[in-house]
Chains A and B, each alone.
Chain A
C-alpha cells in the first residue's frame, strides 16, 4: 500500500525566511509519481509540481525548489524568501503507476502542512 507522511502539521515563519516542507513516502512500486499541491485560504487546490521516480534531478521554479531523494524516500519542498501570499496548506501526493503493485493509479495525499508567513 502506498503512503505519504507530512510530519509537520503547522509551520510559522517570518516573511523573507526560507522554509522547507518535508514529505516522506512509501511505495512498493518501482514506477511512481510525486506531486505537490497548494491550498490557499480560498480552498481550491493548485498543482505545483510533478516528478516521476526515474528523475531525481532537483527542480527550481522561481522561489520554489524541490529535492527528491529516492534513497530516503523523500520529496521535500523549499520556499526561499517566503512571502505572506505563500500562506496556505501544502499537500504532498503519490501515485503508483501500477507496474508491479497492481494498483490502479490511486492518488494518495499526505495530511498537509499549514504554512503561515507572518509580515
Chain B
C-alpha cells in the first residue's frame, strides 16, 4: 500500500524560482490537505480540497497555489519562491462522508529556498 506519496522528498530552490510539489493518494479519499511545518509552529494549513476540482484557502495560503484536477492528486505550486517558504511540507488525505475520519500523511518534502 503506497498510501500518500509526496514528490520530491528534498529540494533546494533559488529565490524567485518556481516549483510544484506533487501529492498522490491511492485510497480514493475525498479530502486532501497541504501543510507546512516550521519549528515551534506546528502544522499550518496552506490549502485544502474537499473533492476533485475544488480547493480552499487555509491559514497561510499566500505565495502558494493548488490544483486538484484528479481526485488522487493534489498539487502545490510556488510561483516565486522566497526564503520564508523554507519549510517541511506535508500532504495528507482523508475520506469523505458524514463523519470526519483521520488523515493519512505523506513522508514530507524538505524545501530550502536560498
Contacts and interface: CB of A to CB of B under 8 A. Distances in A.
Nearest to A42: B107
Interface in B46-104: 48, 50, 56, 58-59, 88, 90, 92, 94, 96, 98-104
A91 B45 contact: no
A108 B99 contact: no
A33 B100 contact: yes
Contacts of B50: 104-105
Interface stretch (A13-21, A45-53, A67-75): A45-53
Interface residues of B, number: 29
Interface in A3-18: 6, 9
A109 B42 contact: yes
Contact of B100 (A44, A45, A97): A97
A43, A52, A95, A105 pick with most chain B CB within 10 angstroms: A105
Given A9-B40, A44-B107, A45-B90, A105 B45 contact: no
Given A43-B108, A45-B90, A107 B103 contact: yes
A110 interface: yes
B33 A107 contact: yes
Interface of A: 6, 9, 32-33, 35, 43-45, 47, 50, 52, 91, 93, 95, 97, 104-112
11 contacts: A47-B103, A95-B100, A97-B100, A105-B94, A106-B56, A107-B31, A107-B45, A107-B48, A108-B45, A108-B59, A109-B43
